[in-house]
Structure 1
Amino acid sequence: MNELLAAVLALAILALAVYRQMRVRPVNEGRALTLPFVLVVIGVLQGHLVDSAHASMSIALLTAELLVGAALGIVRAYTMRVWRDTRGTLWRRGTAWTILAWLVAIAARFGFVAVGSAAGVAFETGSILIFLGLSLVVQAVVVAHRARSMDSALAVNVEG
């Protein structure tokens, strides 16, 4: 996959993810993990994740980027409103804080690219897909965990 196509794919998936997170949706852990796992696999299959000319710096930046992506996935998961309706169905919806957390994630990604570029590290778009996929996986898992740990006695008659 060429760089431009991967970047457009990442932007389209980011837009879709933010759009879907801002809508009232049922909590469904299985379906929520499919697309993020596909993104991670595509990113890994693209290869070139480590710049061989700057291997240690490249590995350090990639590791830090993935840790920050996972941490921001956790943060976004806690910005999501999660509730159980009177029938016991679990729902979730993003808040303004979720959008802010996405903006922080985007800024963090640009920051890693800027630091890497200043150090001469060549970045491939595979790492964008992995960053996005991992962040979404972590967010979905944490939201599902929050939802499962809700007491069914806390059912509410609220739709968003």
Structure 2
Amino acid sequence: MSGLVNALVIAAVVAVVLVRQFRARQISTDRRWWLLPVILAVVALREPGIVDAHHRTESIALLGTELLIGLATGAGWAWTTRIWAEPDGTVWSKSTKASVTVWIVGIALRVGLFALGSAIGVHQDSSALLIALAATLLVRSGILVWRAQSLAPVAGVTTAYRDHMARPARKERV
């Protein structure tokens, strides 16, 4: 894909993710939460220009730093997201004002990293940003699913008092 298409994909994914995350959303722990980040990473890694051939060491260092920023942003975003369990057992999440701060800091660090790369003459492709976005989404989703599993009630069987046979828990009717 061209740089313009990558930029449009990045803008679209960020817009969709941000709009969705600042509304209350149900977290499903059995869903394929890792699928979108993997698709973004595959699209980014297919591009040959992810590492500058003329400045290989500097380019790899910038890419590694970009990934670290993406991982830190994802973790910060996940830990600043409010999650809660409803009485029916569903787990919900909604990003907070602190999440906005995490995003702003992450974007500022990426802009600074891009400026540093430009100052030392490294050609930077949008694929690096795309793979860092994939890392951000993967870490955030993983931490949220992990946090949601700790809140969700354990479904399954329970044993009655002095009974060694497992029986399904019955829901009381009102």
Give me the TM-score of the superposition, normalised by structure 1: 0.90
Separation in 2, partners of 1:101, 1:31: 25
Separation in 2, partners of 1:104, 1:13: 19
Match of 1:146 in 2: 147
- Deviations along 1:3-38, one digit per CA (max 9) or x if unpaired, are 111111101110111111101111125343222221
Separation in 1, partners of 2:11, 2:152: 37
Tell me the amino acid that sits aligned with residue 113 of structure 1: F
Structure having the higher Rg: 2
SS of the residue aligned with 2:87?
A: coil
Match of 2:84 in 1: 83
Structure 1 residue 151: Cα displacement: 6.6
SS of the residue aligned with 1:91?
A: strand
Q: What does 1:1-160 align with in structure 2 at a 5 Å threshold?
A: 1-29=1-29, 30-150=31-151, 152=153
SS of the residue aligned with 1:48?
A: helix
SS of the residue aligned with 2:50?
A: coil
Q: Which residues of structure 1 form unaligned runs of 5+?
A: 154-160
Tell me the amino acid that sits aligned with residue 68 of structure 2: L
Tell me the amino acid that sits aligned with residue 118 of structure 2: S
Separation in 2, partners of 1:50, 1:101: 27
Give me the TM-score of the superposition, normalised by structure 2: 0.83
Separation in 2, partners of 1:96, 1:88: 26
Separation in 1, partners of 2:143, 2:75: 6
Separation in 1, partners of 2:13, 2:152: 33
SS of the residue aligned with 2:88?
A: coil
Cα distance change, pair 137–87 in 1 and its aligned pair in 2 (3 A): same
Aligned length: 153
Where is the helix percentage greater, Structure 1 or Structure 2? 1
Separation in 2, partners of 1:17, 1:47: 27
| Higher relative contact order (Cα pairs below 8 Å, separated by 6+ residues) | 1
Contact kept? 2:89, 2:152, Cα under 8 Å: no
Match of 2:165 in 1: none
Separation in 1, partners of 2:12, 2:113: 21
Tell me the amino acid that sits aligned with residue 13 of structure 1: V
